[in-house]
Structure 1
Amino acid sequence: MSPVADFLIGVLVVCLLASGRCADLPTGTFGVDCLDRYFRLGFDTTFTGEDVRFEAVDDTGVHPITEQYAAECGYSVNVRPHLGFAELRASYFSCTALNEDDETFTFSFNMIVTQDGVEETYDVNKTCTLALPWSSRELNCEVNYMELTMRKDVHFPGTKGAHWTSAVDNVYGLAHDDWQVLFQKGDQQFSPITLSTAEENGYTISMTRGRYVFRMPYGQPDSTVTLVDGVTVDTVHATLFTRKGWTVLVVDLLAACPMSDGFYNDSSLVWLNPLETGETDQQSQRLRIGANGQLLEPVEAAARGYNMEVFGSQVQVTIPFDAVGGYKKSFVQHNIYSEYYLFNMYFENQFIDVNQMDTRLRQYRPLVSPLLSWPKICINQTVLSEHTFTVYIGVFAEDVQLTALMLTGREYIGDVMNANISEVFHPNFTHGYTLGMRFNHPIVPMELSEEGILQYTLDMNFTLSIMPAMVESFYHHATVVAVFKDVFPPIFEAHCYEKGISFKLDLGPFAYLWAVYAGPYPLTEVFAMEQGYHLINTSEGQILNVPLFSTGYIYKNIGMKTFEATFEILVRGLKSLKVKGTTVKTCQFATTELIVCSPKGHVTIVANMSAIPSAGDPYRISLLNRTCGAKESDKSSALFTFGVQTCGTKVKLTNDFVVYENEVVFEPKILTEKGPPRLAMEAPERITVQCAYHLSGLYRLFQLHKFVSDYAGVGSIRHDPHFVQQKMAFDGNDPAAAPLLNVSIAEEIMADKPTKYSKVVYFLKDLVTARFHP
C-alpha cells in the first residue's frame, strides 16, 4: 500500500468515535496508527479540504494545537495541500497524553474540518500500548522540536568534560528543594531558573513514573548552532538539579539534533547526517532507516531500494525517486506532466557513550523533491509474429487515470471492440497502461503495395486525468507502424483426380487479408456444402475437392472419348474485393455421359445410347427436331450440340428457374413383311435432357430477347422407359391392331407444326414471351 493507504488503516476506529458524523466524509479519509514512540493520524486533504485544524483534549480542557503549542507540547502537524497529504503526530509524552506507567498512552483530539464554509468537528480517540521497551536514553528529533527522555536512575555520569565539572560545582551551591535547571551555551553558563520559568521560555521539563522528559522547539535562545560535517546541528545543554537533604540530585540533559532536510540529486532524495552530534566517545551500534515512522531491517530496506552508507563520521541515506513508502502527487501545466515526491524518512542511530549508556537517536524528516517534469513514456512492445499492436504508456502516480482514448479518430475506453486496455501496476505505487489491438481490427488502416509491402498503422491519442477531481488532464499522441515484407496472395496447389479437381491452400499468417472465391461466389463452408464441394479445414490450411459437373466448371474439347474440365479459384482482397490472384486448373477426363449448359445457351450432350438398338446408325438418331442430328455417334454414345432455343427444345417455368428440355429420339424401322408397312417397337428407353437456368441471371433474355445468362445452367440427363402404348394403324381402321406410333403426327409435333398435341408447347412459348415482356 502507498503511504496514504497506510494512513487510512483504522478508519473504523475513528468513525466509531467521531460522534456519528464521520459518515459524512468519504470512506478512507482517516487513518490512525500506534507506532513505536508516537501516535499518528493521517488524512487525505483531497476529501477533507485544506482547512483542517486540531485541538488536544485532556482533563484540563481543550487546547488548540498552534505552531508554538505543538513544538512545546510534542505535536507535529504536517499539511501539504499540493500533495493532498496531511498528518498529525503526537509523542507518547505529549502534554495531553494520558500516561499509565510509561506503558499505555491514551490520546484525545478534536479534528475541525471546514468545507464550503461549514465547520464540522470530529472526535478522534486512541489508546496505544508500548511495543518496544524504552532505552536508557532516547532522543527524538522531530521536524519542529527536540525531545529527550531518560531513565530516572541515570543521574551523575562517571566521566564528563570540564564544562560538566564546572556546572556541577555551581549547582552544589545553588541547589534547594525545588527543581531548577541550568543552561549552558558553549563556555557560557546562565543562572539557574525554575521549571515554571523554563516552561515560560518554551521548554517542557517533566517527570513521569520512570523517566525525565526534556522537550523544546528548535532555535531556542539557549541553544547552540554548529556545523558538523557540513550539517547544521542544534544543541541544547541543560543541567537539572535539586537538593534532597544533604544530597544534591543532578541530571545532565544534552539534546543535539541535525537539521538536514536533504536534497534532490538526479533521480534520488539524499539525506546527510553526522554520526556524532555533540556526544563524546560515542560508539554506534546499529543504524536503521524506514518510512512513515516504521523502521525496517536492512534486508527489507535494501529490497525497497533504500541505500545507507557511512563515510567516516557521516552517514548518507539515498532514496530513489519512486521508492516504496513514498508518496507522489501529479500536476499538469501546459500539457506537461509533473510530479512531487514526498518521503517521510525515519532514521535511528543506536549508540553507547563513554559511560556505557545506551541511547536511541531517532529522526523524522520529510524529504520532498522539487516539482519534476517527466516525459510520458510510450513504448512500442509490438511483436510482429503475434499480429497484435502492443503499446505501453506510463509511468504515472496513483492519482493519474486514463479517462479517454482515441484510436484512428474513434473514441474507445476500456475493453471495447477488441481494443484491450489493461492497467499495469508497479511495486513503487506507480502504474501504466497497455493497449492491445489486432492488426486485422476493422479500424486499423492497412496498405498493401504491389511489391508485397504490408503496413498497418495505429494512431492513438491518450487522455489522462488527475484524480479524483479530473480538473487537470493531459494528452499524449503516438503512432505505431507494423511493416511486413513479401506479402503476396496465396497460390493454390491443384491436381487432378479421377472424379474432379483438388485444390490445397496453405493459409499462412495473412489469410485474413484475402477472400477465396469459386467463380463469383465466396468459398464458405455453407456454399461448398450447397454446391457439393468437399471443403476440409486442416491445421495447415484448406483442401477443396471439386467433383466433376459441380457448379463452376468450364468444359472444352468435348469428344466421344475425352473432354477437358477447367476450374478456377480466385483470390480477392478482403476489403476491396479486387482480384489479386488466380489458380486455374484444367484436367482431361474420360467421357461417359455428360451435359454442358453454357451461359450463352449452348448445350453439349454426350448421351449413353447403349440401350437403344439403332444407336449405331447416326441417321436414325436426333433431337426432337429431326434436323438436329448427332455430330458423332457410335454404338455406345452420341454427341449433340444445340442452342436452347433450337431443335424443338421445350420451355418450362418454375418460381426460380427456366428449364429447357429436349429429348434424344430415334427413327424406328419400317416393317413391310406380311402386311402393310408399320413401325417396329424399338424404344425400350427414352433419354430426356434438361438445362435449368436461374431466373436471376436471365435479365438480358427478358430485355434483349437474346439468351445470355450470368451463370452456366445446371444440366441433367434422364433415361426413362418409353413404352408407347398408342395403337394406331396407318389406315386408322383398327387402333388396337398393333402397337404402332402415328409417325406423321409425331413428326409434326417434333417439327413444331400446329396440331392438337402441340397446344401445350405453344402455351409454354406464350408464357415465356409474357415473362420476357413484363
Structure 2
Amino acid sequence: MSTDEGSYGGGYMMWETPAVPCRGLHGTQLNIGLNGELMAWPVAEERGFIVKNRNTTVQISVPYNAGGGYRKSFVTGELHEFYAFHLYLEQILADPNRVETRIRFQRTLSTPLLPRFIFTEDQTVLDRRTFTVYLGDVPEDVHLAAVQLNGQEFTVPFTDSLGHTIAKVVHPNNTLGYTLTVSFDDPLVMHTISEEAVLHYQLDINFTLTVLPENESFYQVTRVLALADVFCLESGISFTLVHQPFHYFWDIWIGSDLLTPELAVQRGYVLSNDSQSLLLEVPLFSHGYEYEDVTLKGFFGVFKILMRPRGPSSIQSFTMKTCSFSSTELISKDALLLSSKVVCSTDGRMTVVADLSPATPSGGVPASFNLVDKDCEPKETDGSRALFSFPLNGCESTIKLDKENVTYQNEIFYSRKTYHGMSTVVSDDATEGVMIQCTYPLAGLHRLFSAFRFESDTVGVGSIIRTTQPTAGPTMEPTAAPISTPASRPTVYMPASHPTARYIKVYRFPQFAGVLTSEKF
C-alpha cells in the first residue's frame, strides 16, 4: 500500500502508488474516481485525469478544479485557497491462471494554501457618461459585503434611492462577478482638471469582501479615471469645457461664428453654461458638421470648435471629434416620393442616400437609378436604396446664382419595376425623378464654377425638391437668366462645367450684382 502523501504542481494534485502491490500478480486495469464513485479510464481521461507509469509505480494526477473536489477560501493577509480530493482507486490484477483480484482503496489528498487572485476591469464607455467597473473571479464562498466610493461606504445590496447600482453575476465555473455602475454626474465622483484644462472624472473604489462562514474580510482596491471633454452620442457629439480663470479672456467659435446662446438656438445646439463648466451638444446634421466616408452602412461626422483670445490675435486652440454613425441617420421618415438627406461638403461634393421604398408599390423595386447625366450611376445600391456621391460641377448639374448664394442642382431619376405572380415582371415605361441641390453662401467660397477645384469655408445646405409629375426622361436644360429689375434680386442659371475658365469672379457690389466675368489662363 502506498504511503505517498501527494504533491502539488502545475495545476495538478499528484499521487503515486505501486503498479503491482502483490507479488505473483500483474496489473490488467486501473479505474479511478472521486468520492467513492469509479469511472472507466477513458472517462477519467476526458475529465483531465492523467495516469503515468513510472518504473514500478503509477502516478495519478488530478486537476485542481476536477468535479467532485472540495475547495475552501482562507484569509491570511491576502485571499488564499486550498483544494481537497477524496481519491478512490481500483486496481484489477490477475495471476498466471487469470484469476482476477480487485484492490480498492481511498486516499484524501489536499493542496497547500494557494494564492487566489480577484481582478477588477474598467468597462467604462465614455459616451454613456457612466463608470462601469467589473469585479471578477470571486469564489462562491466569498461574499461582497460593502463598497467604498471615494471614501463613502455603502453596504451591499445598494438601496434603490442611490444613484449607483451593483449587479451580481453567477458563472458556470462556480465563480461570481459584480458589476458596479456610477454616473459621472453622481455627487460622489471627483472632478479633476488637467494642465490642458480638460475635465477628468475620478472614482476610488474599495470592495470589502468576506469569506464565509468565518466572516474574515479582505479588500480589493482600484481607481478609475475618465477623460470627459468629448463624447459621441447616438445622434450627435457632446463637448464639455471646464472653466478656468484665463477662459474669461477667450471666446468659443464654430467656424467663423462666435458661439452665443442666440447662435445655439438658431442652429439647434443644446448649450448649458454655468460657473463651473460649459456643455455643448451638437445634433447630427446641424450647421458646422463635415461628413466623411459615406456608405450605405454608415459614415463619419466631424465637428470642430475653436477657442480664440478676445481681441486681435492669431493664437487659437481647437477640439475636433470624429464619430461614426449608422446610415439610417441619413434617412428621414417620409411617406412621400423619396426620403433622404443631402450632404454638401466643403470640397465640392454632393452626397445623398436615397430611399425610394415609399415610392414603390408592394412587391416592387426600383429598376434603375441615375442622375441627369445617365452615365452618373450610384456608387452603391441596396434594394430600394442608392448612394450617390458626385462633384457639384459634374453629372450635368445646373447652377443657380443669386446675390448671396450659389445653388447646384441635379436630379435622381428612377424607373419602377413590379412583380406579378411568381415569374412575370412588368416594368413601367415612365421614369420619375426628384430634384436634389446644395446651396453655399457666396461669402464663404474661395473657388467658384471651377472645373479643377472647389473650396468653401463651410459645408453647404442640402435639400430635396420633389417633382409632382413623372418625366419622360432625365433631360434638363439650363434656364436663361431673368431680366434684372430694381425691385428683385438678379438670378443667373448656367451649366456647372466650364473647362475654358478656372475661376469666375462674382462681384458683391450692388451695381455689379448678377454680372459674371470669366478669366482665362
- If the length of structure 1 is used for normalisation, what is the TM-score? 0.30
Whose helix proportion is higher, 1 or 2? 1
TM-score, length basis structure 2: 0.43
Q: Which of the pair has the greater relative contact order for Cα pairs under 8 Å at 6+ separation?
A: 2
Larger radius of gyration: 1
